[in-house]
Chain A
Amino acid sequence: MSLSSTTLGLKEGELTLVQKLLGIRWFLLMLIAAAVGIGVIVLVSVGKGRFEPWADRQLLRFGVGVVALFAVALTDIRVWLRLAYPLYGLALALLVAVHLFGTVAMGAQRWLDLGPVNIQPSELMKIALVLALARYFHGLSYEDVGRPHYLIVPTLMAFAPAALVLKQPDLGTAMMLLLGAASIFFLAGVRFWKFALVIGGAVAALPIAWNVLHDYQKRRIHTFLDPESDPLGAGYHILQSKIALGSGGVFGKGFMQGTQSHLNFLPEKQTDFIFTMLAEEFGMMGGLALIGIYAAILIYGFAMALRVRHQFGRLVGLGVISTFFFYVFINMAMVMGVVPVVGVPLPFVSYGGSAMLTLMIGFGLLMNAYVHRDVPIPQHGGGTA
């Protein structure tokens, strides 16, 4: 606080643009760009050595994402605090709307067609839920978190959108929402036994949940438990992915030499199974390189979040980092046959615009929290300061 904000005609605690830009962590951006770069290499291979139609569009989206990241990062953090609940409300309303007016694609109702733009409300919800929960827990004292009745509202805030997304049906996103929410609950200091209670309750509710699941979801879980039972049917994806990974070996088959991917044995190779293709063509070395970049992003993100001096920023920052981690883990675990096949893309690498934008906005919020790490935010009435 060396500069007096009032002298610059700014509101109390507001930073100048120069201060904000000085707060930007460029190294994090470079790590993200490295991950995108690896993705582009694989997408060029998918395009048989050409940038179109995959790699060029992915780069364009990354460019849009960078702009979004800066726009989010440079906005005053209190704006986001104030917008947290309205954004959550909007996202929830859109999720309901998608049920009523949504477009069916690939057997699931995920898209809302608003004239020129298609919106996937579940992506917006990933951000909005983190913001809303962070704001909620920001307003609770250490002691309040220990009181069960204060947890009823945030629990509902997490389960309501998750239930709507599950009905679309999109098991992957529902899981992402719940796991992201759980991370924030955990960081906010909710006691371990309460998690145990919720998990115990969930296990008890499993038989009911099983009946709610769609057939294809049941089949996927079944296939996951015994993939070889149906090698040409639902188990095909897992089996072919494992074959591609395993046959890649330590050093891989070489750029554009992946037989499993290029001969189309591998499904969805430019989206959900892109890690498999990377590991087939560049082997364990290629896979480890990407995991290394992800690990660096995670470590860097943790370090940034821990330097934030207000609860809202910390929770937003690590909420984003945790969501990012679950993207990475669930996708990789899926292609390696560790968890069932769910539609979760690999962050910054999988071809696709929605996830890229969501992640870049998310990392924009992390950056925002870091930039505004020393901005004082009162525990109560943050929205009206």
Chain B
Amino acid sequence: MHREASRSAMFTRRAALLAGGQAALLSVLVGRMYYLQVVESDQYALLADENRIHYRLLAPQRGRILDRFGEELANSQQNLRALIVAEQAGDVARVLAALREIVPIGEHEERRILREVRRRRSFVPVPVIENLTWEQFSAVNVHSPNLPGIQPEIGETRGYPKGEAFSHLIGYVAAVAESDLTGEPLLELPGFKIGKNGVERLQDDELRGKAGNSRVEVNALGRVIRELARDDGQRGTDVVLTVDAKLQDYAAERVDGESASVVVMDVVTGDLLTMLSVPGYDPGAFTAGLSQRAWQDLVSNPLAPLVNKTIAGQYPPGSTFKMMVAMAALETGAISPEYRVSCNGMVELGSHEFYCWKRRPGHGSLKLVEAIEQSCDCYFYDVARKIGVDKIAEYSRRFGLGQSYRLGLPGERPGLIPTRDWKRATYGQPWHPGDNLNTGIGQGYVLSTPLQLAVMTARLASGRAVMPRLVKESGGRVAPVGEAPLLPIHAPNLKTVQDGMFRVVNGPAGTAKRAKLPEGLGLIAGKTGSSQVRRISKAERQSKVRKNEEKPWIERDHAWFVCYAPVEQPRYACAVLIEHGGSGSGAASPVARDVMIETLKRDPSRRQPGERLASDLVGRET
């Protein structure tokens, strides 16, 4: 029993030690609990919320683009679409194959989807197919158990109801490129589109609106359990342009098939009523994503459908530039309105011969207004040589040439008004006397855009430094219109040039008599221009001067006509360019006249109630 007693005592001692050890270990656990649940609790509570609460951005509805009368040029329509989340889909190709049983997916599309799936993080939804019909959309929803990772969604798509005629002006929206990313989370939203061209790009901030967000509770798999809070954000504001959609449509129909540009401008306010460049393109195709082939077709088209000729096309202004030469000559006092030049069809300068368009027998003796009326080249050779290029440049700038108006549209180019310094800086060559002569008839180095010639014409008509205005209302604010300051020129001199322009249409020997307006619409003043595309060699000149119609299209002259009306109290200016149209009087002036007639008829102040205009019918039949 003694042995048993000592064994029992040992057991009791050891049991006490064991109990102590276990108590110590349990206290460690209690201490750990205290640390996690009291000391660090706030931090873990935050982590738990981060786990379960996700913020989802909600894309705001994009604002509309409207014309001056409220007609929609760009709008946002409901877009039933399907997205795919690679992470949930597993085998993306297999899921797409299953989806193809329900809705058509092209091979090109499938490649794009697979490419984008690879490029993006696996939990980012990638758009699979857009603009589904209700039937297709419901079918996708019904089959969703067999389509893992496919998310049907009601999104938004951009619509351009006016199509090609407004493609350059309005531009388009397209998917965000890597280079567009600014850290703004909205831009990372799948399928989010931003303005890439035209007004869509210019006014992107206003049109885009403010992103909303939705706080959702998700489980460990990322599935949304419920929505905790929602902020719908702010839809983008509508942008109202100065453009008259019906007028631009009319102009587009009028020059259909040509490579051309038409600008109509209010000479008082500077409002651009029409800013047309044809041919255009389908802006919707850019929004949906263009195939390589379609892109190639656009790029290789000789009519350059991707170029907004109104602001990005730079052409020699030709004879429309003669008003600038005349203004410079009168203002500098180099000539008086009565100054006469005798035209025999040609001017010799050193070994060079400079011809008048009317080579045989020439125009005879002319004073300034007659020289403008008949567009005599010899007269302006003479005057240009007298005053020199720098004076011409100075006055051209006052009338708005050789500069950008910073409309903000992508691609706006400044044209070119040469000076002596410019030539030395650019070519390292001195200014030759012959350069003066070329400049005098708007050839040589001189370049301007159709918009610039419209502004020039508007300034000639009003005598004020009118600036073009495209956006009437944006971000809820109406852009201010003030009376433009008077140009620093003498009114009688301006009157003389206006008189010359009046005679172009209305004079007995005018070059654009066919531009006369019908009874009741008042009188119109204008100027033709035909700008040479290529230098005519002496050999060609001596053998035979070919008529434009006989030349291949690409070698024909560009046809210009600029005009304003009504003469008594000018309100509208118009510039028309027909690329390779031949002659200004033949190709451009009839278009300008028709557009001007429509412009005048559509003027709200003179419009008759119930009167039906040609432009009201445009697009109805088609």
Contacts and interface: CB of A to CB of B under 8 A. Distances in A.
B36 A263 contact: no
A247 B44 contact: yes
B87 to A, nearest CB: 12
Contact of A284 (B11, B18, B37, B43): B37
Interface stretch (B216-224, B231-239, B268-276): B216-224
A259 B51 CA distance: 9
Contacts, number: 135
Secondary structure at the A interface, as helix, strand, loop or mixed, is: helix
Given A142-B6, A259-B48, A187 B37 contact: no
Contact of B52 (A250, A263, A287): A263
A325 B52 CA distance: 35
A299 B22 CA distance: 10
A97 to B, nearest CB: 34
A247 B48 contact: yes
B225 interface: yes
Nearest to A379: B4
A336 B464 CA distance: 82
B41 interface: yes
A329 B44 contact: no
B38 interface: yes
Bin chain A's interface residue count.
35 or more
A85 interface: no
Interface string B33-53: 110111011011101110110
B30 A329 contact: no
Contacts of A283: 37
B14 A249 contact: no
A93 interface: no
- Kindly name the residue among A187, A247, A249, A263 whose own CB sees the greatest number of chain B CB atoms within 10 A: A247
A294 B598 CA distance: 96
A142 B3 CA distance: 7
Nearest to B218: A263
A368 interface: no
Given A142-B3, A249-B41, A265 B52 contact: yes
Interface in A317-366: 318, 322, 325, 328-329, 332-333, 336, 338
A295 B33 contact: no
Contacts of B334: none
A243 B33 contact: no
Contacts of B8: 309, 311
A277 to B, nearest CB: 13
Given A189-B14, A250-B38, A305-B15, A243 B22 contact: no
Contacts of B49: 247, 259
Interface of A: 141-142, 183, 186-189, 240, 242-250, 259-260, 263-265, 279, 283-284, 287-288, 291, 294-295, 298-299, 302, 305-306, 309, 311, 314, 318, 322, 325, 328-329, 332-333, 336, 338, 379
16 contacts: A183-B18, A186-B18, A242-B36, A244-B48, A245-B33, A247-B49, A250-B41, A259-B52, A264-B220, A265-B220, A279-B33, A284-B38, A287-B37, A311-B8, A329-B26, A336-B33
- 4 closest cross-chain pairs (CB), A and B: A246-B44, A247-B48, A263-B219, A264-B220
